[in-house]
Structure 1
Amino acid sequence: MHDPDPAFGPLARDGLVDRVAGLMAEAIVAGRVLPGARLSESTIARDLGVSRAPVREAARLLENSGLVRYRPNRGFFVRTLSSAALDNLYEFRIVIESAAIARLVARGDVEALLPRLDAQIAELYRVAEAGDDMLRQVEADMAFHRLICEGSGNPRYLAAFDQIANETKLGLMLIGRLYDSPRRMAGSHVPIRAAIAARDAQGATAAIEDHIGSARHMVTERFRSLEEGHPA
C-alpha cells in the first residue's frame, strides 16, 4: 500500500546520491524514521521519485557515518544507539576537538574566525529564544563546533567531525534535551570563544574538554536512564 504520509518527497536528479543521503539523514535525526526501523529501498525510491540504486548508495554513505547498519540478506536499518556507544563517541569528539582547537589557536586565522563564532553564538541564543525546536538547537550547536574544526586548518579534523556529526545529532535528539534550558546551552559556548580570542591554547583546550565532557556525562546518563526504562 502507498503510505498516505510518506517521509520523503520527489527529488530532482542533480547531485542525486548526496541529496538522497542528506534527506535520509535528516529524516532519521528528526525522528521521522525511528531507530531499529528498516529502510525500504523501494519505498524511499518511490517517495523520492528515483531508482533504487541512488538510495542504496546513499544508505552506504549513512552506514559510514554511523546512522544505519547493514544486515546481510535483510537490508539497511536505522542504528539503535546505546549509552556505551555514545560515551565512546563523545570520548572521540574530545580527542578531535581538543587537537583542532589547539591547532586553531597556534596556527589558525583567529581574527577571521571570531566573527563567525560570534554569529553562531548569536544564532544559538536566537534559537533558544524562538522556542523548543530541539533539532534547530542541536544543528546550531554542531555548527559552532564544526567552525572550530574548519578553522584549525587541518582537513582531517573536519572530515572526522563531519563523519560523526549525524550520529551525535541522533543521540541528542533521542534524549530530547541536553541542558535544562536552551539559553544555558547557548551560553556554554562563550568560554570557548573567549579562550580562542585570548589565543590561550591551554585555556581553549580546557574549555572544549570541559564543555564536551559535561555533555558526555549528561548524554550518557540520560541515555542510560532511557535504557533502564526511566525517561526522567
Structure 2
Amino acid sequence: MASPVFSGQPRSLSSRGTVVLEAIKHAILTGALPPGRQLVETELAQQLGVSKTPVREALKTLAGAGLVTMSEYKGATVRTVDDALMEWVYDLRLLLEPEAVTRTVERGADLAPAAEALRRADAAADRAERSLANRDFHRALYAGCGNPLLVSTLDSLRDQTALISAAAWERVPTWEAEADEHREILRAAEAGSAAEAAELLRAHVCGFVERVRAGGGL
C-alpha cells in the first residue's frame, strides 16, 4: 500500500485510536481507499505506524458506521457505493430529517454550529473535509429537535451520507450548488420559518438524488 493513502490524516488529535479512525475514514472519503478495497490490518498498521489493535478497533467502528463491510472469508473491505444504497439512505432521511429540522426551528435551538459548518465546508481542502463539514451542517439543524431517538437515528446515517456524497462528487461535482442550498436552508431556519426550512431541506435532499441520477448514477 502506498504511503500517500494517508497523506491527509489528522495530526492534532491526542488519542491514537481516534487518529487511526479518522485517518482511515479520511482515506475512504477521498477515494484513496476506494470502494471494494480490501483493508488488511497489518498493512494499515504499518502505514500508520501503530499496532494492529487500534486498526482493528477502527475497522469495527467504521463497519458500524456503514463505511466498511466485514466478511468471515474476505475480511474488511471499503463499502461499495451504488444507487440502491443512495436510495435507501436518502429515503430514510426524507422521512425523518425535515420533521427534525421543523422541531429544531420551532424550539429556537442554537444554529451557530450550522453556520460554522458552512464556513468549514467553504474552506475545505478536499472532498472528505467538505463532505464531513456538510454532514455536520445537517446535524446542527436536527440536533435541537428535542427527541434523542430521532437524533441518534439520523446520526446513524451520517457517515454513509458522507460516503455517498464523496462518491457522487467524483463524477458530478455539485458541491457549489449544494452550498447555496445550505445557505438558503440556514437563512430560513435563522428567520424562524420552520415550514420553509423543512421544505428547502426536502428539496435539497431530493435535488441531490436527482442530480446523481441525471449524471448516470453512482
Q: Structure 2 unaligned runs (5+)?
A: none
Correspondence for 2:149: 156
More off after superposition, 171-180 vs 135-144: 171-180
Amino acid in structure 2 at the alignment position of 1:184? A
More off after superposition, 78-87 vs 92-101: 92-101
Q: For residues 171 and 189 of structure 2, what CA distance do their matches in structure 1 show?
A: 24
Match runs of 1:129-148 below 5 Å: 133-148=126-141
Q: Structure 1 unaligned runs (5+)?
A: 227-232
Correspondence for 2:62: 62
Q: For residues 17 and 162 of structure 2, what CA distance do their matches in structure 1 show?
A: 21
Q: For residues 13 and 181 of structure 1, what CA distance do their matches in structure 2 show?
A: 31
Cα separation, partners in 2 of 1:19 and 1:96, compared to 1, 3 Å: farther
Cα separation, partners in 2 of 1:123 and 1:178, compared to 1, 3 Å: farther
Q: For residues 12 and 198 of structure 1, what CA distance do their matches in structure 2 show?
A: 36
Correspondence for 1:96: 96
Cα separation, partners in 2 of 1:218 and 1:12, compared to 1, 3 Å: closer
Cα separation, partners in 2 of 1:188 and 1:49, compared to 1, 3 Å: same
Q: For residues 117 and 74 of structure 2, what CA distance do their matches in structure 1 show?
A: 42
Distance apart, 1:105 and its partner CA: 1.7
Distance apart, 1:166 and its partner CA: 2.2
Cα separation, partners in 2 of 1:156 and 1:94, compared to 1, 3 Å: same
Q: For residues 40 and 13 of structure 1, what CA distance do their matches in structure 2 show?
A: 24
2:108/2:192 contact within 8 Å kept: no
More off after superposition, 95-104 vs 197-206: 197-206
2:5 counterpart of 1:7: yes
Q: For residues 207 and 80 of structure 1, what CA distance do their matches in structure 2 show?
A: 30
Q: For residues 75 and 12 of structure 1, what CA distance do their matches in structure 2 show?
A: 30
Q: For residues 72 and 190 of structure 1, what CA distance do their matches in structure 2 show?
A: 45
Q: TM-score, normalised by structure 2?
A: 0.82
More off after superposition, 215-224 vs 166-175: 215-224
Larger Rg: 1
Q: For residues 207 and 178 of structure 1, what CA distance do their matches in structure 2 show?
A: 24
Cα separation, partners in 2 of 1:119 and 1:69, compared to 1, 3 Å: closer
Correspondence for 1:229: none
Cα separation, partners in 2 of 1:35 and 1:121, compared to 1, 3 Å: closer
Cα separation, partners in 2 of 1:156 and 1:137, compared to 1, 3 Å: same
Aligned residues with identical type, % of pairs: 28
More off after superposition, 7-16 vs 139-148: 7-16
1:102/1:202 contact within 8 Å kept: yes
Bigger relative contact order, structure 1 or 2 (CA pairs below 8 A, ≥6 apart): 1
Correspondence for 1:219: 212
Amino acid in structure 1 at the alignment position of 2:50? V
2:169/2:175 contact within 8 Å kept: no
2:30/2:126 contact within 8 Å kept: no
Correspondence for 2:44: 44
Q: For residues 208 and 46 of structure 2, what CA distance do their matches in structure 1 show?
A: 39
Distance apart, 1:6 and its partner CA: 5.3
Moved over 6 A (4+): 9-13
Cα separation, partners in 2 of 1:180 and 1:74, compared to 1, 3 Å: closer
Please state whether the residue corresponding to 1:69 is helix, strand or coil: strand
Amino acid in structure 1 at the alignment position of 2:45? A
Q: For residues 104 and 98 of structure 1, what CA distance do their matches in structure 2 show?
A: 10
Q: For residues 67 and 102 of structure 1, what CA distance do their matches in structure 2 show?
A: 29
Q: What is the alpha-carbon root mean square deviation over aligned residues?
A: 3.0
Please state whether the residue corresponding to 2:31 is helix, strand or coil: coil
Amino acid in structure 2 at the alignment position of 1:151? G
